[in-house]
Amino acid sequence: MYLGIDCGTQGTKVVILDAEQGAIRGEGYAPHALISEAGGRREQEPQWWIDAFEQAYRQALGQARIDSRAIRGIGVSGQQHGLVVLDASGEVIRPAKLWCDTETAPQNAQLLDLLGGEEGSMARLGLVLATGYTLSKLLWLKQHEPESFARIAHIMLPHDYINYWLSGEIAAEYGDASGTGYFDIRSRCWVPDVLALIAPDGALERALPPLRQAHEPVGRVRPRVAARLGLGDRVLVSSGGGDNMMGAIGTGNIADGIVTLSLGTSGTVYACTDRTPAQPSALLAPFCSSSNGWLPLICTMNLTSAANAVRELFGLDLNDFNAQAARAPIGCEGISLLPFFNGERVPALPDASGSLLGLNMQNLTPANLCRAVLEGTSFGLRYGLDLMREAGIEVQQIRLIGGGAKSAFWRQMVADIMQVPVICPRIGEAAALGGAIQALWCDSRTNGPGVSLQSLCDRYVALDESSALKPDPVAVAAYETAYALYRERLGSLHPGA
């Protein structure tokens, strides 16, 4: 048995994978609170992640009806970019600033300028700094909470912290480290001179964790945690990774041609490749994968969060919301929604707000507004997918995950807008499954060459053929017209986007 943990923004999911039967034996979930304040602050207490994990773990264990001592390994997926800082005694100094925190936008702009703009950032890191990356959070902490900054002894990402709680070992791996802003994605190493822009005395460099390759374990579950969870005394903790990196493994996206698209709180589109990706756009993040390759990725900050805001505005449940959206024609009779309610990352508009354009007395209906938020968020993902295509990424099939993927209506919309066939994996908790598969991969290699990750994905990632949809030529043409209007209005309000 192998345990997969996915610590996301809204909650923590746990799955128990039976390696012999090739099936998920148990699943669990527990929510997180969110510190959300004016000015873009988005934070969580790391202890909330541990509490949620324990709750979700016990749910999964109860459902699986297995002896917990049968668990051989644990793989952790975590929300990317979050900043967890520990003092010299290993205690958390303050709440973690999250990926969706835009309070640090001024610091990101300051650091990008110090690096020499986009060109300088690309030269040093292989990517362009974006608001939300970990680096700007460190500068924010120095400027706003100097006493907390002075106590920093260890810098971690969310999944690193959970690994630390489990094993007592401090380490990081290439995939999640790619999104920090102080890691070179080409040479796969930390870039201390970037941290020196914030702390010339080398204090931040000394706080960096050692790096692991994707197939290398961090350590073993420490005795007191094993006793608390009812585990055996030799349970392996794999390197783990960011939620997108683990989602790639959990959708079998570890080779060219497959793209994973997540319709979650945020929207992400990513593909796996064994070569360092070309980058015609600064908005494309060519992260490392957690399978020892690369994972070019774009992320939009407003997806199901935006859809849920509109749904709740009308007091609709999910079925009624989808029914309303389906009543409206493609293009919503001229309405475009730019759903930047929490700023935006792609396009790079951290200070933007949402805009509803093209309203008149004839088209102002609940149906049009419900459809407009789905189209607007999907057009944002199309914007990102086009950037990937321009970078030479092959797109033969899209594998859909996230809560929005459960909607057949939205799935068809994605197929038509992206002009690519779509399908969902049978197991929706892709990042948690990816963690379990990576733990199995790590475990298999501890005493020899082990099995290939591809063979594990072939065995444990099953696709739901009943969810498969192909683009409809008539709808494709209609969406192209609506998308052109969206891009025109986007460029008018935000020149250069």
Alpha helix ranges (H) inside 345-463 = 366-390, 408-418, 430-445, 453-460
Cα(400)–Cα(262) distance, integer angstroms: 6
| 3-class secondary structure per residue, 217-252 | CCEECCHHHHHHHCCCCCCEECCCEEHHHHHHHHCC
Residue 360 identity (one-letter amino acid): N
Backbone torsions φ then ψ of 253, nearest 5 degrees: -90, 75
Q: Which residues of 227-244 are buried (b: 16+ CB within 10 A; e: fewer)?
A: eebebeeebbbbbbbbbb
| CA 126 to chain CA centroid, nearest Å | 19
Cα(168)–Cα(244) distance, integer angstroms: 24
- The two beta strands, 73-78 and 2-7, are parallel
Residues whose CB is less than 8 angstroms from the CB of residue 418 and which lie 6 or more positions away in sequence, other chains included:
261, 381, 382, 385, 395, 398, 471
Cα(315)–Cα(321) distance, integer angstroms: 9
SS3 31: strand
To the nearest 10°, report the CA torsion of 278, 190, 384, 327. Answer: 150
CB-based contact 381:259 (threshold 8 Å): no
| Active centre residues (catalytic) | 243
Cα(107)–Cα(255) distance, integer angstroms: 36
Cα(260)–Cα(193) distance, integer angstroms: 34
* Alpha-carbon distance values, 255 to 280, 289, 397, 454 (Å): 21, 11, 12, 9
Cα(170)–Cα(85) distance, integer angstroms: 12
